[in-house]
Structure 1
Amino acid sequence: MSKYDAIANLHAPSALIGVEIIDGIGILTLKNRRKLNALRRDMMRRLTESLESFAEDKIRVVILRAEAGMDVWSSGHDITELPRPGQDPLPYADPLEETLRAIRAYPGPVIAMVHGSVWGGAFDMVLSCDIVIADESASFAITPVNLGLPYNTTGLLHFVGRLRENLVKELFFTATPIEAKKAAEYGVINHLVPSAQLETHTMEIARQMASKAPLAMAAIKEQLRVISDYQPIAAQVFERLQDLRRKAYESADYREGIAAFLEKRQPAFKGE
């Protein structure tokens, strides 16, 4: 058994991800069909470990995808695993946050291959990838306002770094999905291709990038990450933002949002 088999089967027989290497390209497959690929802590830890192993083995390009035949690429952060109201729902040490950092810091291109709908934190994960290739079934929605959840500043910077600010506001304020054609127009998707060509097209681009100079690509990617990630924010401004977030995740609205989701009903937010 290879170390990749060991990572993918930490909790066999119901592995949540598949890990394989094809033509020197690392492929990570979300496989929790029963939970619509909800971004569970154990899944995120395995993704992070797999990326670390790929980096150690100098795998030049990684593809992140969902299992074939799924209409939902990922339903987003597993709501049942969010901390109870009163605690920061998206702290620095959250396994999803660790995976986002691992994707962004990976020393080579990470491609999101998207078939189906992408929800919540999974949208952040797709935007953290370097290239997005999708078919016509793809859609994208960022939904924290449906729960009363204050998204973190780091995550907002991921969106602002890729998309126009007015579009980011609309996505966050309405939580309405954008379909594939619009997502391509807005710059979420690099290549929009027919479903029958999705895997072939993705592998072609991955092979092309894998043939290029890996040290040069790693240096370019890291420079771009530093340029986009390290936006100066005054300490007092950051503290004010954190205070605004704290008021939201300690609020009755946040408790109501989580309760409504679990009870499968519409929340009744009161702004308190």
Structure 2
Amino acid sequence: GLMLNMVSDIVIASTTATVAMTANKLGIPLPTETYAYWLHVIGIHKVKELLFTAGNISAQDAHAAGIFNHVVEPDDLESYTLGVIAPRILACSADGIANTKFQLNLLARRFYLTEADRSAIAAHRRALLDGEDYRTRLAALLAKVTG
């Protein structure tokens, strides 16, 4: 389950959820990228605790460590996701979110950006700024501001 978290954009968990990184119980080495990811997400001390002890932490501790975005009661998972988070996402520019996701995912996977990555980011930014969605949203904002 925790490995699935690595590819999730927003993680909403139940108050009854627990988190553990159990690879070291069996001595299974994780890919270096996995260590780098968790180091980036939770920081050196918490990731070492989780990996060295293979113990469980509560949903609240996982939230505090940055593993979960939100923790809600089990009966509220669907209503919170669909009634609170989804509408906020849908109110944003899909192109803008796609561009942001692209860049954040690149940065999360790397400690540095190659020239190819920088070029790809520049191309995505240009496409975003040249897109119809951006122009429409900008025009609406300007119309609202200028009255």
TM-score w.r.t. length of structure 2: 0.70
SS in structure 1 at match of 2:41: coil
SS in structure 1 at match of 2:28: coil
1:124 positional shift: 2.0
Match of 2:110 among 230, 236, 244: 230
Aligned to 2:134: none
Q: Does 1:186 align with 2:65?
A: yes
Please, which runs of 5 or more residues in structure 2 have no aligned partner?
113-147
Match of 2:88 among 208, 233, 247: 208
CA contact (8 A) 1:127 1:162 kept: no
How many percent identity over aligned positions?
Answer: 32
Higher relative contact order (CA 8 A, sep 6+): 2
1:127 positional shift: 3.1
Aligned to 1:154: 33
Match of 2:75 among 196, 210, 221: 196
1:206 positional shift: 1.8
State the AA in 2 paired with 1:227: L
Higher strand share: 1
SS in structure 1 at match of 2:68: coil
Aligned to 1:221: 101
In structure 2, C-alpha distance between the alignment counterparts of 1:202 and 1:214, rounded to whole Å: 18
In structure 1, C-alpha distance between the alignment counterparts of 2:12 and 2:69, rounded to whole Å: 6
1:213 positional shift: 0.9
SS in structure 2 at match of 1:131: coil
State the AA in 2 paired with 1:213: S
In structure 2, C-alpha distance between the alignment counterparts of 1:124 and 1:143, rounded to whole Å: 11
1:193 positional shift: 1.0
Aligned to 1:168: 47
1:185 positional shift: 1.5
Q: Deviations over 1:23-71 (max 9, x none)?
A: xxxxxxxxxxxxxxxxxxxxxxxxxxxxxxxxxxxxxxxxxxxxxxxxx
Higher helix share: 2
Number of residue-to-residue matches in the alignment: 111
In structure 1, C-alpha distance between the alignment counterparts of 2:107 and 2:64, rounded to whole Å: 24
SS in structure 2 at match of 1:209: helix
1:190 positional shift: 1.0
State the AA in 2 paired with 1:222: F
CA contact (8 A) 1:124 1:159 kept: no
